[in-house]
Amino acid sequence: MTVFTASSFIGRLWRRTAAAGLGIALAAATATSAHAQLRVDISGVGATQYPIAIADFAGIASATSTPDVVRADLTRSGQFRLIGTNGAHPDVQSPVDYASWQGRGADYLAYGTVSQAGSQYTVSYRLADNVRKTELDQATFTGTEAEMRRIAHKIADRIYEKITGVRGVFSTRIAYVLQTGNGYELQIADADGQNPQVMLRSKQSIISPAWSPDGSKLAYVSFESGKSVVYVQTLATGQRQPVSNYKGNNSAPAWSPDGSHLAIVLSMDGISQIYTISSNGSDLRRVMRSPLIDTEPFYTPDGQSLVFTSDRGGSPQIYEVPVSGGEARRLTFSGSYNISPRVSPDGQQLVYVTRRNGAFRIASLALGSGAEQILTDGPDDQSPSYAPNGMQVLYSSIQGGRSVLAVTSIDGRVRQTLSVLNGKVREPAWGPFTN
């Protein structure tokens, strides 16, 4: 990576776009399955860990996968300590022996029953508080065998929220770009990296995927025509349309919180500047004028402002400006290189890429106090993206010479590595809550 100047920063943004020949294949209305599943490795634990037993679910034998997925979800958060169950599988109709489970060290117990009628499965789950000797939650789900993993994620979400008070994100999805020897793939997957699907294949580069607020669409930049063009694609149908194809570079799409507009970066006047545009490609408006590079816009949760990267102060730093235009306010002051800002869902924090001692790392900034925390170690961590509950940050990383996706908790204590068996994975974006 190079020093930030008007020419070198453009080079940094676009150096990844070298491609091997023309041609693109749009995924069918039902996205095709990707070849490589992501593998998850976890390190660290949270400051607080809740001891919980996840019992094997009673009922049909195929039910064993449901508690396994729930256990894996809660373990990845770093906020739960799993207590052994010794093969116990209490039925949801049976009373809970709270004292016995508490005696094993489990403050909480999740258990359930799975039944089958034809191709439909019914999953009944319960969550017990063994300390207070009461039932915290119960729910029943139905679905096909293919939907059992989704149901398990929903159960994990309910457990997480009932115990921590924060909405779980195990049912959400992530998007990322996978570069292979054959070109580039825009993929989406479950938050744990499973069930990857290809939304777009191209021999030319794909960059900057961004989820619409309702999770139904992705905006991204494709170079299939020989230049950068911003597209919006509907995930359910595969239908897509170019929304920004102006002279020069069209880049860095970011959705407004209501999904009506995108913030984009255009260089049609010779230097990268920030604009807003309707999500259907109409109503282009320039936010401000700057003699130097303004790029990487991102809306604040209230939709009133944009944070962005600029070298207007002599080095790349992060600023904020009203969407309606006006004076930009500098936000970052530590270090001489801070880029790729993202605001937390509650609007209280900012994450970004910072260069410290030659390493590119993910940092967070408390917008109220200005306190900064370095979350990752580098040496090349990029493209941070908040989980929709604000508790974790997804990013791309080089680890052991391999390109991987990684996740860190917002305090930096718990980290996950999601790696693929082939290709380079980058440009991650964590999707929103969808229900």
Question: Do 421 and 281 lie in a common domain?
Answer: yes
Task: Report the predicted TM-score, pTM, of the whole model to 2 decimal places.
Answer: 0.89
Range of 217's domain? 6-30+173-430
Question: Do 207 and 300 lie in a common domain?
Answer: yes
Question: Do 21 and 69 lie in a common domain?
Answer: no
pLDDT attached to residue 38: 52
Number of folded domains that form the chain? 2
Residues of the chain with confidence (pLDDT) below 70 = 1-47, 61-64, 420-421
Question: Do 114 and 179 lie in a common domain?
Answer: no
Domain end marker among 137, 164, 191: 164
Contact assessment for residue 233 and residue 255, using Cβ atoms and an 8 Å cutoff: no
pLDDT attached to residue 14: 33
pLDDT attached to residue 46: 58
**38 within domain boundaries:** no
The CATH number covering residue 354 comes to 2.120.10.30
Question: Do 237 and 325 lie in a common domain?
Answer: yes
Question: Do 179 and 155 lie in a common domain?
Answer: no
pLDDT attached to residue 26: 39
The CATH number covering residue 136 comes to 3.40.50.10070
**303 within domain boundaries:** yes
pLDDT attached to residue 13: 42
Question: Do 334 and 212 lie in a common domain?
Answer: yes
Question: Do 232 and 284 lie in a common domain?
Answer: yes
pLDDT attached to residue 240: 96
Domain end marker among 164, 191, 219: 164
